Structure 1
Amino acid sequence: MAAVTTPESSPQSRVYFQTPPGTEEAETPVRKQGRVTVKYDRKELRKRLILEEWIIDQLTDLYDCEEEAIPELEIDVDELLDMQDDVDRAARVKDLLVDCYKPTEDFVAELLDRIRGMQKLSTPQKK
């Protein structure tokens, strides 16, 4: 783009931009807007996001490292919510944290307390 000023400009100078010849902007393909057919409960999504951020913070403390260096593990909240009781949930989380050298009991107890009362997020269904 080239800057062009006009000689008869007011006390405040103005700058106009022009596209240089031969570089016509190609038309970008127009994307069709999709409709959201299923809405999640915003409050439940917010709770889930807060929980996931808390989990990441706790794991960085437990593993004494930055977020990028946390060992590859996935704590699936929906999987935990599908389990029968807190004993099974605690055992699953402890299995995931088997290579953590710090005590994990407080983390597990707090996690179970935080997921208590949460709803499982279902897969969106088309209407």
Structure 2
Amino acid sequence: MASAEVSSPTKVKFDAEDVDKVRARQPPTQRYDRKEVQKRLDIEQWMDDQLRILFGCQNDSDSYPELDLDDVMKIEESSREQKLQDYLRDCKQPSEVPEFIKQLLEKLQSVKPS
């Protein structure tokens, strides 16, 4: 059994063997590109803001259908526009839907698939 040496009341010094055992139990983590994550967050926030406008939400308690960026990206490119139009058919601002879809499709071009 490896020993832990107490060097001060707030610090514990571990043997290298103990550290290696802990590392061996930890699952590997995926590294994320910080800029890509921020870009995705910005698009998701923009989508949320636009959906609130399209569905006429006045305050935070108003509900509206959510649109997930990953779900949109999984739709085959040739049918994305039509599926988005179908999804937004009940919105309160139908005249704004084509511009929203156009902007969303442009933004999707800059995002890497997850």
Report the TM range for the smaller structure's normalisation: 0.5 to 0.7
- Preserved CA contact (<8 Å) 1:44 1:118: yes
Which digits, 9 at most, give the CA deviation of each residue in 1:16-75, with x for residues without a partner?
Answer: xxxxxxxxxxxxxxxxxx67611221111100100011111111211221344132x232
Give the superposed CA RMSD.
2.2
- Rounded to whole Å, the distance in 2 between the matches of 1:67 and 1:110 is 24
Unaligned runs of 5+ in 1: 1-33, 122-127
Distance 1:62 1:114, change over 3 A: same
| Alignment-derived partner of residue 45 in structure 2 | 53
Normalised by the size of structure 1, how large is the TM-score? 0.58
- Rounded to whole Å, the distance in 2 between the matches of 1:90 and 1:74 is 17
Which of 57, 65, 75 is residue 67 of structure 2 equivalent to? 75
1:101 counterpart = 2:105: no
Aligned residues with identical type, % of pairs: 31
**2:82 alignment partner AA:** A
- Rounded to whole Å, the distance in 2 between the matches of 1:64 and 1:119 is 31
Higher Cα Rg, which structure? 1
- Preserved CA contact (<8 Å) 1:60 1:67: no
Q: How many residues align?
A: 87
Which of 51, 54, 66 is residue 62 of structure 1 equivalent to? 54
Structure 1 runs, 4 residues or longer, greater than 6 Å off? none
- Rounded to whole Å, the distance in 2 between the matches of 1:51 and 1:45 is 10
Distance 1:54 1:36, change over 3 A: farther
Distance 1:68 1:45, change over 3 A: farther
| Alignment-derived partner of residue 119 in structure 1 | 112
Normalised by the size of structure 2, how large is the TM-score? 0.64
- Rounded to whole Å, the distance in 2 between the matches of 1:36 and 1:42 is 18
- Preserved CA contact (<8 Å) 2:56 2:92: no
